[in-house]
Structures are given as structure tokens and as C-alpha cells.
Structure 1
Amino acid sequence: MRNDINMVLRSQPEIKQFIRQHPYWYRKLSRDPYQLQQLQVEVNQFYGRTFPQRMEKIQNNLQLAMMLIQMLQMNPFGGTQEPPPPME
């Protein structure tokens, strides 16, 4: 493998980890080192860093927050009833 590719792998450990999990990239980069950009695209997809993946994650977090807010706003005593008087 070329030295510049090795330097990229050493400087970015997540790319190195991705290549270890997907060893066919060793062959691809050895044969065509200009596929480094394609590798970066696949790494971003794998780690969920693309714009649609980020938007989906934000949407899921918002839905969870809205559900928690709705649960907190619910009256624990069943709506219109007043809470029972405290016991003495």
C-alpha cells in the first residue's frame, strides 16, 4: 500500500477500524489509491454521518422528547378529579 494511504490510515483511526472490518478495501486501495474519497463516503455512511442519517437521528430524539413531555403533562389522577385529601 502507498505511503500516503498509510499516513491517512494512521491519522484517522476510525478509517483504519473500518478497513479492518471490511478487508476488501485493502485490495481496492492497493489497486487504485484514488478510491480514497469513495472510502471516506462509505465510512461516513457506516458511522451514520450522512445528512439524512443525522436528520433521522434528530427526528427520533425529538419524537422521544415530545413523548416524554406528553407523559409528564398527563394528570396522574385521571383528568377532572381532585387529588385525594392527605391522610392524617
Structure 2
Amino acid sequence: MQTETYHILKRNPSYINFIRQNPIWYRYLTRNPQLISEIERESKVYYGKTLPQQIEKFGNHVQMLHMFAQLAANIKD
């Protein structure tokens, strides 16, 4: 693996963990170091850090709070 690619991975521990979970990426990066931008994108998807995934997670939290509020209102009555 090229030293520049190694330093990028060293600065981002989440990328290292992603590669450990998906070892095929080690092979991809060894053969083609320009794929480092792909690993950044794929690790965001893997860890749920993309905008659509975060919006969905926030929506789920709001829905759960709404259900708790309804439950509290029903208990109060």
C-alpha cells in the first residue's frame, strides 16, 4: 500500500475499521490507491452517516417521541 494512502487511513480510524470489516477494500486500495475517495463514500454508507440515512434516523426518533407523547396522554386520561 502506498504511504499516502496509509497516512489517510491512519488519520481516519473509521476507515481502518471499515477495511477490517470489509477486507476486499484492502486489495482494492493496494491495486488502485485512487479508490480512497470510494472508501470514504462507502464507509459513510456503512456507518449510516449519509444525509438520507441521518434524516431517516431523525424521523424515527421524532416518530418515537410522538408515540411516547400519545402514550403519556392516554395514561393521563
TM-score w.r.t. length of structure 2: 0.93
Are 1:45 and 2:45 an aligned pair? Answer: yes
* 4+ runs deviating over 6 angstroms: none
In structure 1, the residue matched to 2:22 is 22
Backbone CA RMSD of aligned residues: 1.1
- Cα 1:75/1:17, change in 2 over 3 Å: closer
Taking the TM superposition and a 5 Å limit, the aligned residue runs for 1:1-88 are 1-76=1-76
Larger radius of gyration: 1
Higher relative contact order (CA 8 A, sep 6+): 2
Q: Unpaired segments of 5 or more residues in structure 1?
A: 80-88
Q: Percent identity?
A: 34
Q: Unpaired segments of 5 or more residues in structure 2?
A: none
Kindly indicate which of the two structures has a greater share of residues assigned to helix: 2
How far apart, CA to CA, are the structure 1 residues paired with 2:6 and 2:36? 11
Deviation at 1:9, TM superposition (A): 1.3
